[in-house]
């Protein structure tokens, strides 16, 4: 299966279990792997035969920056559902969502959830 990959899209959102996370906000990174047949788009050079990745970026931005979830699992699930509901050309996708600076008194690069969803 062909795929389109969007790497490390950066957004500022208000997600987290702690009230201060939802009040102050923080940076989030989103990686997407969209599985779909890209042959027709490649042969025809026609944008209508694929997905517009600038449009995908704006949809994900609207979700991350305008909604609020306690769990990054819920945020990732919402992104996956929205994209599958909106773009019928996508057969399956992987959403990788990273919270690079969780508010813990420990040192690590961040926490990431990754989920794979297919069209039902």
Active-site residue numbers?
Answer: 99
Q: What is the DSSP string of 13-58?
A: E---SSHHHHHH-EEEEEEEEEE---HHHHHHT-GGGS--HHHHHH
Residue 51: which residues within 8 A CB-CB, separation 6 or more?
4, 34, 36, 87, 89, 90
């Amino acid at each position: 299966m062909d795929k389109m990959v969007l790497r490390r899209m950066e957004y500022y959102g208000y997600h987290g279990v702690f009230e201060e996370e939802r009040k102050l906000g923080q940076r989030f990174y989103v990686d997407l792997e969209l599985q779909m047949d890209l042959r027709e788009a490649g042969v025809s050079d026609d944008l209508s035969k694929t997905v517009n990745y600038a449009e995908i970026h704006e949809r994900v931005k609207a979700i991350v920056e305008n909604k609020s979830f306690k769990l990054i699992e819920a945020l990732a699930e919402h992104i996956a559902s929205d994209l599958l509901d909106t773009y019928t050309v996508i057969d399956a996708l992987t959403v990788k969502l990273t919270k690079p600076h969780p508010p813990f008194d420990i040192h690590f690069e961040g926490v990431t959830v990754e989920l794979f969803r297919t069209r039902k």
